């Protein structure tokens, strides 16, 4: 019996004070003010509406609802290579993490999810058809911001059906040195026919910086390969222009088992993500 992916148990619901109508609307206005620059009037309205829904414990679809927030915004997202997206089956989309596009760069996630969902048209189950995003638990910018953002990220992740991991810590070489505690359920969701979007670098980097964390990346790919070496891994590259607009390109998929045998995450980055210019 497969897990009901969109079920929200009472303990996963946002705290009562955040579900309060006044508080949820205040949070929505604050977040909209912070990341809604350049939206149309309708975009602001939709963003606040969805944020209130998130704060009150409702489910929001990235592909069918959230992607409409930035329509007509002053920064744009262009996507190509959708023909390389598998129309069904277990898939992992791996991309670089860089700045660009609307919503303080968060629009990239929504647009990728939308394009993947639209192309996975041979999958009848919407819960499996829409890819889940692997996101980190908050922002590492001082104790207060880390604490408050952690609460919000937990709430948003439950609402958007994401898998959440610990905030990464880096050494001088940019390698992630802490275990991020990704749930085994994330791997099972992929093996069961789902799709996931994963940007392993963990923070915004220069678009030409395609160095990926070895321990984290190879560990995750290895665990997937152990269960199904034929899971399709799709390279995704994001490149911003001088105005801040961003172009997203999907490349041809390759078996996860081939990646593991050939050298791992940085083999994949060098040979499959880097050529997507």
Q: Please, which residues bridge with residue 240 across strands? A: 246
Neighbours of 9 (CB within 10 A): 7
Enter the pTM of the model: 0.91
Residue range 23-43: mean pLDDT, rounded: 94
Contact 167, 138 (CB under 8 A): yes
Q: How confident is the model over 127-172, as pLDDT tens digits?
A: 999 999 998 876 777 777 777 777 888 899 999 999 988 877 778 7
| 173 found inside a domain | yes
Burial class (CB in 10 A: 0-12, 13-18, 19+), 151: middle
Count how many domains the chain has. Answer: 1
**pLDDT bracket for residue 1 (50, 70, 90):** very low
CA angle 114, 118, 124 (to 5 degrees): 120
Contact 119, 82 (CB under 8 A): yes
Look at residue 202 and tell me whether its pLDDT is greater than 50.
yes
Look at residue 180 and tell me whether its pLDDT is greater than 50.
yes
| 65 found inside a domain | no
| 37 found inside a domain | no
| 17 found inside a domain | no
More confident residue, 6 or 53: 53
Neighbours of 260 (CB within 10 A): 21
Q: Please, which residues bridge with residue 77 across strands? A: 246
Rounded distance between C-alpha atoms, residue 260 and residue 13, angstroms: 38
Q: Please, which residues bridge with residue 246 across strands? A: 77, 240
Contact 109, 251 (CB under 8 A): no
| 224 found inside a domain | yes
Q: Which domain holds residue 220?
A: 75-273
**84 in helix, strand or coil?**
helix
């Amino acid at each position: 019996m497969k897990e009901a992916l969109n079920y929200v148990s009472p303990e996963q619901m946002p705290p009562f004070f955040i579900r309060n109508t006044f508080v949820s609307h205040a949070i929505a206005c604050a977040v909209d003010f912070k990341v809604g620059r350049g939206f149309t009037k309708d975009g602001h309205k939709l963003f606040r509406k969805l944020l209130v829904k998130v704060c009150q414990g409702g489910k929001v679809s990235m592909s069918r609802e959230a992607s409409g927030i930035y329509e007509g915004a002053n920064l744009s997202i262009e996507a190509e290579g959708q023909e390389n997206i598998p129309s069904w089956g277990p898939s992992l989309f791996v991309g670089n993490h860089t700045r660009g596009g609307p919503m303080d760069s968060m629009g990239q996630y929504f647009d990728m999810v939308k394009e993947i969902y639209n192309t996975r048209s041979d999958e009848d189950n919407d819960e499996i058809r829409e890819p889940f995003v692997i996101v980190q638990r908050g922002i590492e910018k001082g104790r207060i911001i880390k604490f408050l953002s952690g609460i919000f990220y937990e709430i948003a992740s439950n609402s958007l059906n994401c898998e959440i991991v610990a905030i990464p810590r880096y050494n001088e070489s940019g390698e992630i040195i802490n275990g991020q505690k990704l749930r085994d359920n994330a791997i099972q969701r992929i093996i069961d026919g789902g799709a996931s979007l994963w940007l392993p670098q963990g923070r915004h980097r220069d678009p030409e910086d395609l160095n990926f964390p070895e321990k984290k990346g190879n560990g995750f790919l290895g665990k997937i390969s152990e269960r199904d070496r034929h899971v399709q891994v799709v390279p995704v590259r994001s490149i911003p222009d001088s105005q801040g607009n961003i172009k997203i390109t999907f490349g041809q998929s390759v078996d996860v088992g081939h990646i593991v045998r050939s050298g791992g995450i940085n083999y994949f980055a060098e040979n499959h993500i880097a050529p997507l210019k």
